[in-house]
Amino acid sequence: MKQVEVGIIMGSSSDAPIMRQAIEVLKRFDIGYEFSVVSAHRSPQRMFEYAAAAEGRGLKIIIAGAGGAAHLPGMVAAITTLPVIGVPIKSSNSLDGWDSLLSIVQMPGDIPVATVGVNGARNAGLLAVQILGTSNSELRQKLAALKKENNEKVAKQNETLDQFE
């Protein structure tokens, strides 16, 4: 069984369809992860225990998704020394995701949270891979291959542009 290096947490199971995008990325890069609901508001003790024990369990990065007031990423970052990547979720109680985005990106000094775009769990997963890749040449090679694939996709799109003229 592969070592779990990334914790993916969210404030509610309703966030799971978005957060699964990060899982798809981690699977592609063969990175072990755990996935769970850890609510800053509904289960603050569970959140504290999760964040406090994360490094001891071998985690290297936490991806935290939250909608509405979106306190989860910042509160986890206040507790752990691990990098935290926040994913603002456009949820049923959010203001088009703006409240979540601003809650996560506007952290006070000394509590950094890397923040991706609203519903941007895929980019959160890729950012986690890039962070892990700083000390893993195999991951860097896989990331380079992804960049090459993206370049090839753009080239193919250019080949078909004449159909729009």
Which residue positions form the known binding site? 12, 15, 42
Using only C-alpha atoms, what is the Rg of the chain? 17
**H or E, element range at 32:** strand 32-37
- Residues near 117 by Cβ (< 8 Å), separated by ≥ 6? 88, 101, 123
Residue 9: exposure state from Cβ atoms within 10 A (0-12, 13-18, ≥19): buried
Binding-site residue set for substrate: 12, 15, 42
